[in-house]
Amino acid sequence: MRPSIILMLVLSGYVLLYGLFFLVPGAGQSAEQAADIRLMQEAAAKFALSDLALSTEARYTRHPAVSDPVVVTMDHPGALDHFPSTLFWAPGGRRL
Amino acid sequence: MSTFFGRFLNILDYAISSLARNFGKNCSIFILFTLVIFLFASFQLMTGSLTALAEKILVTAPDITVQQMSAGRQVAVAGAAKERLAGILGVKKVSERIWGYYFDEASGANYTVIGLTPSPGAGDEGSWPGVAEGRLLLPHDRGKVVVSRDIRETLGLDDRRHFSLFRPDLSMASFETVGTFAEKLDLLTADVILMTLADARDLFAIEPGLVTDLLVTVANPQELDTIAGKIAGILPGVRVITRNQIRKTYNVVFSWRSGLGAICLLTALAAFAIFAWDRASGLSREEVREVGILKVLGWQTEDIILLRFCESAVISLLAFLTGFLLAWIHVAVFQGTFLRQVLLGWSVLRPSGAFTVQFAFADLLLIFSISVLPYLCATAVPAWRAAVVRADEVI
């Protein structure tokens, strides 16, 4: 068999795998995911939640939407910002 | 047309055979390239998934949150301001909230304590799927809380329902867990202890008449910004946060996150491009001879450039498809194990299953553009240099 045909077969295999991973599980889970998101929307409304509980180590990573906009030196003047996740959290997003 | 296609297929055949002859060298390039694309794609898929989730979930966040600021920091707001806000035309409801953080020294975890006045009838919703065990809080409840499954584990409650937290004066405040949040709500409530306003006031020793913030519900969402402006005018020194600003914050936060992550990973990509350039330009004697022989056999310069392009395209395309697929599995099945620590920080309490990957053609195109195209560019000049070798000089 010609190498180019083998390559085409390999690429076809990838297309099949991509279809399997991207489309089939997406179709199967969409109803369940939509129900979960509705439940989380209800919870956010019921308990007046404004933020996701992703990084819970400091208030400016736990509640970026409603905590102080300036995070460095917030605890005391000259305080070092020591949590690695704050490297990725933009302070004061609502002002941008 | 068929002649061109046939010629292209012949060159492609030769390119694949050529790759197979230098299997070790090409395999190392393939593995490195796959790894770089895997990291890029994982980061992109994880932040994309979080942005989409935040966008969907926070549509029901409070309409307007009013906080008092003093010396650039948030302080308690007088509950009396509630009446002034309720008088604004278009305001449907104003609720008080006391919330804060409780650091558990024993476990190193930070709990988010939220104190609200439960709405009448809330406890009747025993079948609400958001509470896996028990019930929600009732208006007359005192010393009762609803906590997450993670907090129960962190506090080591097992089957017990009672636990204590320290007040600022180090006296103990006792609580009974009357409900546990469902695991499905972990993304919102992984670290939440929900209690009544009076209990939160008692725990944090907040003076009567003061609350952390006021939550304003407006009748017409179209008037949200106008009412927010009025509130800022009525109460001096307050920070007014609208729901749209909350959602925008998350968009900015995750864009920032993925942008900074991508910049870090760009160094990996640049290092790989240099490596690819070096490998492609450092032609061995055998490779130079091969080009010479091909030229003697009648191959033109453009044929050899096409041959080198096919080699680079095959490697980069296969690496791209493999890397992106592995990244998809990494995020969708393994919840981003390798990058989770970097993205979610040092938290003791963290939600399980935070990443729900959604296919976006834009992600695929972005990763393709910042990985495959630079690689093809990096190998273009060495390919041209290899193709202009004179046959009589190398054979």
The tens digit of pLDDT for each residue in B19-29 reads: 898 888 889 88
A50 CB near a chain B CB, below 8 Å? yes
pLDDT value at residue A85:
60
Domain positions in chain B are 2-56+250-394, 77-211
Q: At what angle do helices B285-296 and B361-387 cross, to 10 degrees?
A: 80
Residue B63 three-state SS: coil
Report CA-CA distances (Å) from B213 to A56, B87, B108. 20, 17, 27
> Which of B248, B252, B324, B334 should be substituted to probe chain A, the one whose Cβ sees the most A Cβ atoms within 10 Å?
B252
Residues of chain B with pLDDT under 70: 1, 121-127, 256-258, 282-283, 345-346, 353-354, 395
- Select from B364, B373, B391, B357 the least CA-distant residue to B49: B357
Chain B segment 272-311 residues within 8 A of A by beta carbon are none
Cα–Cα distance for residue pair B114/A47, rounded to 1 Å: 8
Distance from CA of A18 to the nearest CA of B (A): 7
A67 CB near a chain B CB, below 8 Å? yes
Tokens of B344: 């979610």
Q: Compare all CA atoms of chain A with the CA of B59 and give the residue at the minimum distance.
A: A41
- Select from A96, A95, A92 the least CA-distant residue to A68: A92
A27 CB near a chain B CB, below 8 Å? no
pLDDT value at residue B240:
92
Distance from CA of B339 to the nearest CA of A (A): 12
Cα–Cα distance for residue pair B243/A52, rounded to 1 Å: 14
Residues of A in contact with B182 (CB under 8 A): 39
Chain B segment 152-211 residues within 8 A of A by beta carbon are 181-182, 184-192, 194
- Cα dihedral across residues B337, B339, B343, B348: positive or negative: positive
The tens digit of pLDDT for each residue in B315-355 reads: 999 999 999 999 988 988 888 888 877 777 667 777 776 67
pLDDT value at residue B122:
56
**The residue to which tokens 């809080």 are assigned:** B137
CB B205 within 8 A of CB B90: no
> Which of B13, B57, B64, B154 should be substituted to probe chain A, the one whose Cβ sees the most A Cβ atoms within 10 Å?
B57
**The residue to which tokens 């089939």 are assigned:** A24
Interface contact A83-B345, CB threshold 8 A: yes
Q: Measured between alpha carbons, how far apart are the two ends of chain B, in Å?
A: 34
Report CA-CA distances (Å) from B289 to B15, B228, B284, B394. 16, 75, 9, 6
Say which amino acid occupies B49.
S
Residues of B in contact with A53 (CB under 8 A): 112, 186-192, 349-351
Q: At what angle do helices B301-332 and B23-57 cross, to 10 degrees?
A: 50
Mean pLDDT by 10 residues, chain A (96 residues): 90 88 61 84 88 79 73 55 56 44
The closest CB to that of A3, out of B13, B251, B253, belongs to B13
Cα–Cα distance for residue pair A43/A37, rounded to 1 Å: 10
Cα–Cα distance for residue pair B370/B376, rounded to 1 Å: 11
- The ipTM of this complex is 0.74
Report CA-CA distances (Å) from B24 to B20, B28, B30, B162, B282. 9, 6, 10, 63, 16
